Structure 1
Amino acid sequence: MKTFTSITATMLVILPASVFAQDEAEDTFAGHDIFFTVSGGVVSAPSFLGSGETSVYALPNISVAIGDRLNVSLLDGVSYDVYKDDNLTAGALLTYDFGREDTPSDHGLLLSNVAKSEIAGLGDIEETAEIGGYIEYSYGNIQASLSVRKGVDGGHDGVVGDVGVSYNATVEIFGKQSVISFGPTATFSDDSCASTFFDVSTAQSAASGISEYDADGGFMSYGLHASAYVPVNQNVALVGFAAFDHLTGDVGESSIVQERGAEEQVTAGLVLNDTF
């Protein structure tokens, strides 16, 4: 279940670290090439997945690229490329879903106001460790990707995944050779994961005033994501990003979305990366 943190970390915090590592390292742990990226920025995102309220959050992160296969990030977890050739990459990952608070105004990184009673009464969803794998195929400027993860400890024990296609191009921005990326994406989950975030039980309905609902799995959302990576100097880069997603299926029809939120979800932000 992608929150704003995992969306933005995937799009623009891990990627720049990987770019630096791939330019310098020839193989996994070759010469023990290690690159640290310290990131800071802001992101405007829904206060929870399905929310109609948009809030502004601080976005700090530290990530490490070891060789050209291993990446570790505070926000996005650990990924390792088990197989890698000129076009195909497949690997394993350990991620962390940050759950959901029924009082979004309690979020530790919140910089703006948010409605305190939007989903009060639904109860908190605990953070969840997720394990899974990914596969990416590149052909020219086109990259297709699939990621599947399973909750193993915490708020949900379901399966969630993402699929997408992106077009990556080198362009000049502010006189700097930059990289832009854009393309369609979709998310899916099983019944267990969808139920954790979008069911409303009899007790929750009484406490929140939201109608009872039983969500099944399937495709949860589809949309369009874009980002721009603009180097400032050899180590520092500015990264901008935007994402539009439309909630669909049982998730989009959930009473949480229909009565207290919105099917359209918009995320945008700006981050400064320092890689060394």
Structure 2
Amino acid sequence: MKLITTIAATMMVILPASLWAQDAAEDTFAGHDVFFTISGGVVSAPSFLGSGETSVYAFPNISVAIGDRLNISLLDGVSYDVYKDDYLTAGAVLTYDFGREDSPSDHDLQLSKVAESEIAGLGDIEETAEIGGYVEYTNGNFQAKLALRKGVDGGHDGVVGDFDVIYNAPVALFGKQSVISFGPTVSFSDDSYASTFFDVSAAQSAASGISEYDADGGIMSYGLHASAYVPLNQNVALVGFAAFDQLTGDVGDSSIVQERGSDEQTTAGLVINYTF
């Protein structure tokens, strides 16, 4: 649940691109086909989790899929399918939480104006390396995925996770065989993660003017995510995506959200993938 990495998770971009372009691969690594994907586009997202303002960013990403188990991405991190059969996949993941700035600054990739300092005085939250795992069940066009991650180095040491149910509907778009994916999602965390991002101490309250607050873990948000994947040719694909998340529980009730932000979070964007 963070700005850039939330965008990456919402898109569901990398895996479809590698699957559609397998015939184009020529390189190998340890006997496995290797697929490189370069992504570029535009994304609109909340300035921080719980913000009432949105910012527009240019979106760059590079990912590598080695065989059908290992994926490496600048934004998504590293994932490896330890177990895989026709229905069930289980694996390990190393990701990166980009943290939070209390005073938004001009970013090289930012296309819109810099957001106002809604939470100045709360202090910055440093970037965090996260390790975890996931279990995914697939049956026909349906997928269900549970993912858990724990902060191990940086701004938080809590546990955060997501549960997604996705329906992949084959459709014809622009004369191309495409896929529209949509479904509900739920995110949750432990007390440590919720406290890091949504507590307001007495000192922070005095510095920011935001009321003191003590957040516990639990369900953080629920929402609906959707994407459309359109292969333009063997190597190039167009991906549009949108997501709506409702912050809830202690996170939704946090004084950060209620006094300076919004419990309704919307993300949308358009990306082009080039796979070779």
TM-score band by shorter chain is over 0.9
Residue aligning to 2:153: 153
Letter paired with 1:176: K
Secondary structure of the structure 1 residue equivalent to 2:258: helix
Letter paired with 1:9: A
1:54-98 C-alpha deviation (Å, 9 max, x unpaired): 110111000000000000000010000000001100000000011
Is 2:201–2:213's contact at 8 Å kept on the other side of the alignment?
yes
Residue aligning to 1:9: 8
Is 1:53–1:114's contact at 8 Å kept on the other side of the alignment?
no
Residue aligning to 2:168: 168
* Deviates further, 226-235 or 15-24: 15-24
Residue aligning to 1:123: 123
The CA distance in 1 between the partners of 2:3 and 2:215, in whole Å, is 22
Residue aligning to 2:89: 89
Residue aligning to 1:208: 208
Tell me by how many angstroms 1:164 deviates.
1.1
Residue aligning to 2:48: 48
The CA distance in 1 between the partners of 2:24 and 2:212, in whole Å, is 54
Is 2:189–2:218's contact at 8 Å kept on the other side of the alignment?
yes
Q: Mark the runs of 5 or more structure 1 residues left unpaired by the alignment.
A: none
Letter paired with 2:97: D
The CA distance in 1 between the partners of 2:86 and 2:108, in whole Å, is 41
The CA distance in 2 between the partners of 1:13 and 1:97, in whole Å, is 19
The CA distance in 2 between the partners of 1:107 and 1:198, in whole Å, is 24
The CA distance in 2 between the partners of 1:29 and 1:49, in whole Å, is 38
* Structure 1 segments of 4+ aligned residues over 3 angstroms from their partners: 20-25, 28-31, 105-108
Residue aligning to 2:110: 110
Letter paired with 2:215: A
Is 1:183–2:175 an aligned residue pair? no
Letter paired with 1:208: S
The CA distance in 1 between the partners of 2:218 and 2:155, in whole Å, is 19
The equivalences for 1:216-235 within 5 A come to: 216-235=216-235
Letter paired with 1:188: F
Is 1:230–1:237's contact at 8 Å kept on the other side of the alignment?
yes
Letter paired with 2:177: Q
Tell me by how many angstroms 1:112 deviates.
0.6
What TM-score, normalized by structure 2, do the two folds share?
Answer: 0.95
Residue aligning to 1:101: 101
Residue aligning to 2:34: 34
What TM-score, normalized by structure 1, do the two folds share?
Answer: 0.95
Distance change >3 Å, CA 57–CA 120, structure 1 → 2: same
Secondary structure of the structure 2 residue equivalent to 1:50: coil
Aligned-residue sequence identity (percent) comes to: 82
Letter paired with 1:5: I
Tell me by how many angstroms 1:6 deviates.
1.9
Alpha-carbon RMSD across the aligned residues, in angstroms, is: 1.7
Tell me by how many angstroms 1:109 deviates.
2.4
